[in-house]
Amino acid sequence: MVRPIGFLVGLGFVGVLLWSLLWGAVAYVKEPPVPTAEHEFHEHPKKVDFSFNGPLGKFDRGQLQRGFQVYKEVCAACHSLRLVTFRDLQGIGYTEGQTKTLASEWAVETPTINEETGEPATRKSIPADRIPAPFANEIAARAGNAGALPPDLSLIAKARHDGSNYVYSLLTGYQNQPAELLKQFPDSKTGAGLHYNPYFANLNLAMAPPLTSEGQVSYSDGTKPTVDQMSKDVAAFLTWTAEPKLENRHSTGLAVLAFLLIFTVLTYMAYQNIWRDKKH
């Protein structure tokens, strides 16, 4: 009795699924989706040959340090990096002494009040501190950015599809609106305070181009600081903040594959040895 009931229930589920599929196909044919500016003009991220791409990829420590410098001198004015502590920066090649020096360049508020001014007291950051946010809270962040809330960048490379390429493409993708877009979608004109970028989801974002000219950041290693180079460097750095253990994951994966290969060979040889004299 149970089997027929189970069969009928399963048949009912299949019937509902087929009906939904058929109904959706008919609806699509009768009323196809209306094209939108976002669908027509949104572009997929450019492909960049980062050193950490692929199963054997490794971070370029020099590039990561340049990327941190771009973050520090440009991005940190608006964007936080709340999941990264100063001592974490030893993972990109800085020494313990260098992280102490970097931390001391940032001030952090303490729970105490300055008895003379009544303002929150501050102290120099230490390596154990997280990198301080540029704004005290969301309200202050929005007030300082015309109502827009700059996202935290700690995990941005994981939060966006094809994150490393996305960050690079977004930073280098600012441009004037195409005449063809305005011709097809007259109501899509970029509004005041917004900037056209085909790599952003809705084509317009509140963030002005942060990297605008060569030499905006002075690299100590002699690398030419073009907009393209600075964009690659900070994209690599933000990939590291999102995946600081990426290299360990790659090496662990290769070790597992090697183990499985050896185990498979040994299993096959054992099988042949055991069944060699057996008749099927």
pLDDT bin (cut points 50, 70, 90) of residue 7 is confident
Radius of gyration of the chain (CA): 27
**pLDDT score recorded for residue 93:** 96
Q: Quick one: pLDDT at residue 10?
A: 79
Q: What is the mean pLDDT of the chain?
A: 90
Query: Which residue from 206, 182, 197 is spatially nearest to 37, judged by alpha carbons?
Result: 182
Assigned token pair, 92:
């990109």
Closest alpha carbon to 198 in 220, 223, 171: 171
Closest C-alpha among 91, 96, 132 to residue 244: 91
Mean pLDDT of 95-119: 84
Q: Residue 114's pLDDT is what? A: 72
140, 170 contact by CB (below 8 A): no
144-192 pLDDT per residue, tens? 998 999 999 999 999 999 999 999 999 999 999 999 999 999 888 898 8
| Token pair in block for residue 120 | 């929150």
Residues annotated in the binding site for heme c, as ranges?
75, 78-79, 207
pLDDT exceeds cutoff 80 at 4: no
Q: 123 — phi, psi (to 5°)?
A: -145, 165
CA-nearest of 214, 208, 245, 243 to 231 is: 214
Q: How confident is the model at residue 108 (pLDDT cuts 50, 70, 90)?
A: confident
Say which residue, 240 or 14, is predicted with more confidence.
240
DSSP designation for 130 = B
Using one digit for the tens of pLDDT, what is the confidence trace for 208-225?
999 999 999 999 999 999
* pLDDT tens column, 121-141: 788 899 999 999 999 899 999
In this predicted structure, what is the pLDDT of residue 18? 85
* pLDDT value for 8: 78
Q: Which residues pair with 204 in a beta bridge?
A: 196
Annotated binding residues = 75, 78-79, 207
What is the Cα–Cα distance from 196 to 21, expressed in whole angstroms? 38
- 30 or 273, greater pLDDT: 273
Tokens 């589920």 found at: 13
Q: Give pLDDT, residue 65.
A: 98
H or E segment to which residue 109 belongs: strand 107-113
* 156: Cβ contacts below 8 Å, ≥ 6 apart: 163, 167, 238, 242
Q: Is 148 exposed, middle or buried (0-12, 13-18, 19+ CB in 10 A)?
A: middle
pTM equals 0.84
Maximum Cα interatomic distance, the chain, rounded to a whole number of Å: 95
Give me the numbers of helices (H) and strands (E) for the chain, helices first please: 10, 4
What is the per-residue pLDDT for 135?
93
**Cβ proximity of 171 and 235 under 8 Å:** yes
What's the mean pLDDT in 24-52?
A: 84
What average pLDDT does the segment 222-243 reach? 97
pLDDT of residue 119: 75
d(CA 71, CA 91): 16
